[in-house]
Each structure stands twice: as C-alpha cells, then as structure tokens.
Structure 1
Amino acid sequence: MEIERINDNTVKFYISYLDVEERGFSRDEIWFNKDKSEELFWEMMDEVNEEADFVMEGPLWIQVQAMDKGLEVTVTRAQLTKDGQKLDLPDDIEERRKMFASEDTEATEFDEFEPVFDEPDIKKLEYTFVFSEIEELLPIARRLMYVPIESAVYYFDNKYYLYLNFDEILHSEEDIKNNISIISEYLRTSPLTIHRLEEYGKPIFVKDALSNVLHYFG
C-alpha cells in the first residue's frame, strides 16, 4: 500500500486489488458488503496511522476512487471548534458525498460518514503482529511473563500472527505503549484484524498464547 501525507489533515493512499486479496478480501466484498468494506478501511487506516502518523480524531471525510488495478483513497480529518462545530471541511457538500467514483462512470452517492473517534485520547487496546516461527515469541513471553495480556496465535497465509488484547482497567496507556515497544523489538505489526484471523486462519493458541509458548517451547 502506497501512502502520501498531503497535509496535517489529509492523507491519500493507494491499494492494489492484489493487496486487497492478500489481506483476505475479495472485490465483491469491498463493493457490496458494507461490513467487509468497513473492516478493510479500518485495517488500512491502522496502517496509515502507523506509517504516516495520521491520528484518527473527530469526523473523517472519505473519498474512494476506483482505478484499473486498485483503489485510491483520500481521507480528510474535519477540524472542529471548541463547541463542536465543523470548520475547514474539504470542498463542497456534493464532493464529500462522492464516495466510490469510477474513472468512466458517474459517482455513486452515499450519506456522509458519521463522526468517528470523537474522544482524541482513546487508547488502542488490540494489536496484531506477524512473524515466521513460533520460537520468535519466546523472548517476548519471557519478558512479559507476569503481564496480564489476552493473547492468541493464528497461522494464516504461510505466516504466524500474534493477537493481543489489553484490559483497559488493568493497563494504563503508558503500560500499553511500553509493552508494545518490547514486542516491536522482535516482531512487526500487521493490519490483519482478529476477525479476519478467526475466519480464515488456523488457530494455534486461542487463549494464553504467550504462556503456552513459554510452556511448550521454553
């Protein structure tokens, strides 16, 4: 996926249909299945946030351009005043309503997206990491041995995936950042969601994955 940061409030990215399929989605799903298209969109936005540091706060205006070999997506973060009024919205209302526009067909109009991530300090609790061998989890399991984290491991498309879910009561935002920093020393993050892994992946450990890795491989 190619990402271009336009300005502080706008980011544009291009994803090929091949990349879409490699993520476990089909063309029909992203055009005709609302839940699947939204799942793909938020997977891509997680990746955009990580690579382009584009924080998803407040209302987002999204325009998707259908290309011959993929999709070009432009996302603009609406600016709000202290009383919640919208400022600096992109273009006019009709432009914001053009969501899926083909180069040789008229745009299909959709209702405007509802505001998302209205609380700017909301903390992310779920993470997915990709790796090649189970043994790669051993140093992580040892370092986080006494940290209560819900963890699972799945095998999908010739790779292993570690899913983590932090408890918002047990873990502060700083705790989560520190733990993710440790894991990132060994593994790289993945845009795949737990829903995609549960649906298409092979479960290795569906619960207490890090503890099980330490027990069986340590």
Structure 2
Amino acid sequence: MKIERLSLDKIRIFLTFDDLTERGIQKEDMWREIPKVHELFSEMMEQAYTELGFDASGPLAVEVFQLPAQGMVVIVTRGKVQSTDAVDEEEAEEVYEMEVTLEQSDVISYAFHDFEHLLKASHIAFGIGITDGALYHYKDKYILQILPSESDESRDQALIAILSEFGEATSVTTAVLDEYGKRIIAESAVKSLCEHFRQ
C-alpha cells in the first residue's frame, strides 16, 4: 500500500492485488458493502494520518479506479464540514461520510519522472514484442499508456512488471491527458522510442 498527498485535502492510495489478497478481499469486493472493505478503508485512513497527517474526519469523496492487472487506485478527498452541531469528538472520528465513485480503466498507464527510465522500460518491453502505446507529457512526467492484450494476459503481466520497475502506476485518464497534457507520440510509442533512442 502506497499513500501520497495530492493536495491539502486530497490523497491517493495505490493498492496492489497482493494488498487485497492479504486481507482476504477480492477485487469485486471493492464494489460491495462488506466489513472487510470497511476495515481496509479504516486501515488506509490510519496509515494516511500516520504518514501524512491526513485527518479523515467529516465528509469524504472516495474514487476507486481499477487498473488492469495492477491493482486499485483510491483517491480520497476531504470535504468541508457543513454542520455546526456539537458532535461528540470521539464519535465524529469513527464516522466516515462517504460518497464513493467506482471506475474501471482498461488502459495500462505508467508515469516516469525521468526520460532515461522511460527509455530503459521501452527497450525491455520492445524485447518481449511490445510496440504499441501512446506517450504524453503531463505535470512534469512522461506517461505511457498501452491497451492490454485481449488474448495474452501473461504478456500484460510481464509488461506491468517491466513498467513497475522503472515507473509508477497512475490513474490519470486518457481524457485528462488529451485535455491538459501534451501528446508526444500518438501510437506505436514503444517502437518509436526504441527506433529514435538507442540504449
């Protein structure tokens, strides 16, 4: 489980499928109201408080993005408390008012802080027969997006292992990248990078 602060009132939590399996949660369970999921959420909020000082009391908007074969990204945004009622402080800490949004992305999406890391990942991916993908520049990072194979899940697992070594999974959508990012290579990004930049 990896937690990072996006802003004063927003954090992002990356859960691998191993994180879920360790807690006896299937990915389908994230869509259901079950005690294990509530326990996981409480654990995430405790870790967010310990690591980042993120106080999760009051109303929360929770977005859950499922990434193919990588895990889940959970974005938690703290809302402003509207109520002026005097509430028992201990009780308030135990209650999360949550508005949950669930989205599923079919795109394998990885961010690279360093162009050299992107090149290394691309050359290794090219070595196992991967040529496709689109490359963007967004918020000082290079983002490589590749559609998963419809027929070869082991290829996708190998690709994700390579990309994870050099970059980090990201939940930014193609729509956001098209709107706010800069598209550098529209298609066959892995092949183009390997042809233009030797290792």
Normalising TM by the smaller chain, what interval?
0.5 to 0.7
Matched, 1:71 2:43: no
Taking only the aligned residue pairs, the percentage that are identical comes to: 23
Number of aligned positions between the proteins: 151
| Aligned residue number for residue 154 of structure 1 | 136
How many Å apart are 1:181 and its aligned residue?
0.8
| Aligned residue number for residue 213 of structure 1 | 193
- Structure 2 length as normaliser, TM-score? 0.54
After superposition, the Cα gap between the structure-2 partners of 1:128 and 1:113, relative to the gap in structure 1 and judged at 3 Å, is: closer
Q: Report 1:98-177 matches (<5 A).
A: 102=81, 104=83, 125-145=106-126, 146-148=128-130, 150-169=132-151, 171-172=152-153, 174-177=154-157
| Aligned residue number for residue 39 of structure 1 | none
Matched, 1:197 2:177: yes
Structure 2: stretches of 5+ with no match in the other structure: 39-55, 65-78, 86-98
How many Å apart are 1:179 and its aligned residue?
1.9
How many Å apart are 1:70 and its aligned residue?
8.1
Q: Report 1:45-56 matches (<5 A).
A: 47-49=14-16, 52-53=19-20, 55-56=26-27
CA RMSD across the alignment: 4.7
How many Å apart are 1:215 and its aligned residue?
1.4
Correspondent of 2:28 among 27, 51, 57: 57
How many Å apart are 1:56 and its aligned residue?
2.9
Matched, 1:186 2:166: yes
Amino acid aligned to 1:178: A
How many Å apart are 1:142 and its aligned residue?
2.1
The question of whether the paired residues in 1 share the 8 Å contact of 2:136 and 2:183 is answered with: yes
| Aligned residue number for residue 35 of structure 1 | none
CA distance in 2, matches of 1:68, 1:115: 21
Structure 1 or 2: more helix by fraction: 2
Q: Cα deviation per residue 1:129-169 (whole Å; 9 max; x = unaligned)? A: 11123232222222222524531111111111111212212
CA distance in 1, matches of 2:133, 2:160: 13
The question of whether the paired residues in 2 share the 8 Å contact of 1:16 and 1:70 is answered with: no
CA distance in 2, matches of 1:152, 1:74: 25
After superposition, the Cα gap between the structure-2 partners of 1:101 and 1:163, relative to the gap in structure 1 and judged at 3 Å, is: same
Structure 1: stretches of 5+ with no match in the other structure: 4-13, 24-43, 76-99, 107-111, 118-123
